[in-house]
Amino acid sequence: MDFSNFLVMRQEIGVIALFVILLIYDIFAAETKAMRYFRPLACILTGAATLLGFLFPGHEAEAFGGMYVTTPVTMLMKNILMLGTFTVFLQAGEWLRKGDVLIREGEFYTITLSTLLGMFLMISAGNFMLLYIGIETASLPAACLAAYNKYKEKSAEAGAKYVLMATLASGVMMFGLSYLYGATGSMYFDDMVPALAVQPMTVLGFVFFFSGLAFKISLVPFHFWAPDVYEGSPTATTAYLSVVSKGAACFVLLITLHHVFGAMTDIWYPMMWVISVLTIIVGNLFAIRQKDIKRFFAYSSVSQAGYIMLGVMQDSPAGLTATIYYVLVYLFSNMAAFGVITAVENATYRTDIAAFDGLSKSNPRLALMMMIALFSLGGIPPLAGFFSKFFIFASAAEAGDYVLVFIALINTVVSLYYYLLIVKAMYINQAADDAVGRIRTDRYNMTSLILCTAGTLITGIASCVYGYIGSVGF
């Protein structure tokens, strides 16, 4: 056997190594003083892995007979997901040091890394079997993360809802894959492409396959799990699900739509058109009436997924670049917002929007960071969110789909309204009498906040970021 194949999948091996190191450290250091160094170790190693990934871009290669495919684009996607995981680790630490979860502190990191491994595999898959295994590896531990606060009723409920819906979605997806296999006789992407023609069986297979992925991205007819799971899960898990898990599924959809189902564009383009419009509108309208901030961000992320679909649909270099750029900017903005939510929740034990009343008086810096993040999500010009929306709309307009761009533009105004509701709570509403004073966040969370806010401010203005993604793409 040729072991040099393994060198190609160095990012996966890096994640596995990280997983094993942390697991062994957790087992042997449990309930001793050495556990104090667990969190710095986990954060530094993950940060180093992210940095190394960005510093050494790889080249195009195949391993295991085409089962595993890696290109500079997929490596960039994985680095972005790794960056998201790194910020989640930075933010999760404070919550993991409290109450009944302390004894399970190490497990959070290892379970999160195993879902990340699944996402890496599904992005690099060259075969639908590996894709399926990757999706399962990503979604089963994610259910455990959702149910992590095991003495809280909401968390248990969120875990049950997530695991049942995820299994149903993967079952539906496998059913679609079985018909695709019946029609083409292979599970390899490259072998399926010539055999895929528009006929009832392949269309049926594609629609079922798409439904399974749409569940992961929480596109509209399949979004019903998202608000409940996001509200009930621990905040760190919510951030992870809304950024990393969603981003990975978007990347997979981007790859499979164009590489495998390229011949069926006439079938999926109208379908995706309707779904993205519905996703944007429904996400926006439901976000307006939310009272809980995590539920609010669930609907906000549903509508953001709709915007990402605008880029995913375009079969052009601009569409690909805009999608990756959008996910990167969305990662920075959303993680900055979740950093503030984590800080407020750790101090007040509340997640309703009213907990943010008068935050600008008691914690001006936290309120400012939250405002920057929200403005970026809404797409206000100097921030990165404006540029990511601009490029996504430009790629859709390039393809001549002006109606879709118009609908999305109108919805951007609606989304500004509800993002401003939180800014209003922070800057205009008076604080209640029992409001907390100055919140002291720990250094890790502060680092993640500074990292994400800097990312939100810089990635838009520094055109080299978009240029870099574009140069990697082609």
Q: Give the footprint of another protein on this chain (CB under 8 A).
A: 129, 132-133, 136, 140, 143-144, 147, 150-154, 156-160, 163-164, 167-168, 170-172, 174-175, 177-179, 181-182, 185-187, 227-228, 231-232
Find the DSSP H helices in 363-442: 364-378, 384-398, 402-427
Task: Record the tokens describing residue 242, joined without a space.
Answer: 């809304």
- The nearer residue to another protein, 177 or 312, going by C-beta atoms, is 177
> Min. distance of Cβ 241 from another protein in angstroms?
15
8 Å CB contact between 426 and 414: no
Q: What are φ and ψ of residue 342, in 5° steps? A: -60, -45
> Min. distance of Cβ 178 from another protein in angstroms?
4
**How many whole angstroms separate alpha carbon 303 and alpha carbon 126?**
30
Task: Record the tokens describing residue 211, joined without a space.
Answer: 């439904």
> Min. distance of Cβ 227 from another protein in angstroms?
8
- The nearer residue to another protein, 282 or 404, going by C-beta atoms, is 282
Q: What residues contact 278, with CB distance under 8 A and at least 6 apart?
A: 220, 221, 306
- The nearer residue to another protein, 172 or 327, going by C-beta atoms, is 172
> Min. distance of Cβ 103 from another protein in angstroms?
16
**How many whole angstroms separate alpha carbon 282 and alpha carbon 227?**
12
> Min. distance of Cβ 69 from another protein in angstroms?
17
Question: What is the identity of the amino acid at 288?
Answer: I
* Nearest residue to 219 (alpha-carbon basis) of 290, 271, 145, 265: 271
> Min. distance of Cβ 179 from another protein in angstroms?
7
8 Å CB contact between 313 and 272: yes
**How many whole angstroms separate alpha carbon 118 and alpha carbon 140?**
10
> Min. distance of Cβ 296 from another protein in angstroms?
13
Terminus-to-terminus CA distance in the chain, angstroms?
33
8 Å CB contact between 11 and 78: yes
- The nearer residue to another protein, 45 or 111, going by C-beta atoms, is 111
- The nearer residue to another protein, 63 or 308, going by C-beta atoms, is 63
> Min. distance of Cβ 63 from another protein in angstroms?
18
> Min. distance of Cβ 289 from another protein in angstroms?
12
- The nearer residue to another protein, 3 or 151, going by C-beta atoms, is 151
- The nearer residue to another protein, 89 or 179, going by C-beta atoms, is 179
> Min. distance of Cβ 214 from another protein in angstroms?
16
- The nearer residue to another protein, 28 or 151, going by C-beta atoms, is 151
- The nearer residue to another protein, 47 or 159, going by C-beta atoms, is 159
| Burial class of residue 197 (count of CB atoms within 10 Å of its CB; 0-12, 13-18, 19+) | exposed
- The nearer residue to another protein, 300 or 459, going by C-beta atoms, is 300
Between helix 38-55 and helix 72-96 the angle, nearest 10°, is 160
Determine if residue 349 is left, alpha or beta; phi over 0 gives left, psi from -120 to 50 gives alpha, anything else beta.
left
8 Å CB contact between 302 and 283: yes
> Min. distance of Cβ 231 from another protein in angstroms?
5
**How many whole angstroms separate alpha carbon 196 and alpha carbon 194?**
6
Between helix 10-29 and helix 38-55 the angle, nearest 10°, is 170
Question: What is the identity of the amino acid at 387?
Answer: F
Residue with tokens 């569409």: 319
8 Å CB contact between 225 and 161: yes
- The nearer residue to another protein, 166 or 254, going by C-beta atoms, is 166
Residue with tokens 């001549």: 400
- The nearer residue to another protein, 176 or 460, going by C-beta atoms, is 176
> Min. distance of Cβ 290 from another protein in angstroms?
12
* Nearest residue to 134 (alpha-carbon basis) of 148, 146, 118: 118
